[in-house]
Structure 1
Amino acid sequence: MDSPEPTPSSRVRRRWPLWVLAFLALVTLTRGLLVETFSVPSGSMQPTLSAGDRIVVWKPAADEVRRGDVIVFDGTGTFGPRRGASEPGGLAAVVRSVGDAFGFRSGQSDYVKRVIGVGGDRVRMDERGRVFVNGLALSEPYADTRAAGPAFDIQVPPGRLWVMGDHRGDSDDSRGHLGDPGGGTVRVDDVVGTVVGRYWPLNELGGVSSAAPREDPGADR
């Protein structure tokens, strides 16, 4: 007796595992070469980004970082603990890798900040939280400058970046590491990429544009 001809719905049910595997393979390949997804761990970038937001990072832009870019970088050895012998293996590593691909990144050394100064820039902040780059006071509509912390004045070394969170009163950034190696600056080589979009929550779905710091014509020097 001949077997019944498979219906379209039964063919779909049999093929969906292959589609899922193909999708996962595509995500993994694309993630490794062009994009990477992250979960924002804190409110240090508010109001631009909030804790729990899922963001997309464009990796080819890592070599062309500009002032105003929102970036993800590896703070290992600069801001955070060094990854090493405690890394999970076996099944735990596989689970973490899949989670990373969908934005549930578990690493403790990845940071999301805004680039304020690049190599050669002089960056300073006065006691009122106003930021100056190369003598020009900045207008920063993206930032919450309340409780910005103590004043500072630094020259950014070549090949490094000065980064700050948009929530100046609640951000572990370059200001808090002035006494560390590099004077709080981050190596350009440690940049993972530029944040280009947010895909969660859905009501905030869209791009995350860079906002180049602009001179504030009303500020005194």
Structure 2
Amino acid sequence: MPAPSHYFERLCGVPVHYDRQPVADYGSLGVPRRFYATPATEAALDALFQEVFALAPPRFGAPVAILSAGAYVDKPGQHGAGKAFDLDGILWQHRRFLTSEQRQDKVLYLGIQACCLRHFGTVLGYNYNVAHQDHLHIDLGRPVAFRESKSVTYFYQEVLNAFFDKNLIIDGEYGSGTNDALRAARTSMGLGSISKVDNYRAFLAGIAAIVKDTLAVQPETALV
């Protein structure tokens, strides 16, 4: 499929670098590159990273680079339509975030994933399958909405265990236990049914706020 004519090199004023072989090692500073995508995709990414950068406490320092495995790719699907982006990580002056380190850096990972879900209808992360353990795939192929799909149920289960003292099995299956725990969580946040998009986005914003507060007091143990 032909590439969109539109491209970006920065998001929220921060350079976007490609960090994959044969040009760079995963997780390194990578190299600057033009990322081709639709204008709507760039706008959604700008809004996303504005929220992501707001999560970071001052000790992280300024953001240096957003690391990506790519946007437009000449293949079927949302990458071929210029509506997808693969996030490998973010480098701040004093902090590194890599999606492959989800287990060691879960709080920040879940905050970033919550922000992704607020702006993109499809978000495939670490638990979805092995192929997505080194990046968050996000795309505009469907609208933002509450779903019971495997990809987002993993997120619900991780969040409910991490921030609401639940003990759910992380299996991606949206059963009664996950449903009941999610209902209790959004009720505790003062929200109605998250089948309504506004409530769903408010729930995700609430998770991001919990992450921001947690990071503000969390000892820095993640890789830098």
Q: Decide: shared fold, TM above 0.5.
A: no
TM (norm. structure 2) is 0.22
The higher radius of gyration belongs to 1
- Give the number of the structure whose residues are more often strand, by fraction: 1
The structure, 1 or 2, with the larger RCO (C-alpha pairs under 8 Å, 6+ apart) is 1
- Give the number of the structure whose residues are more often helix, by fraction: 2
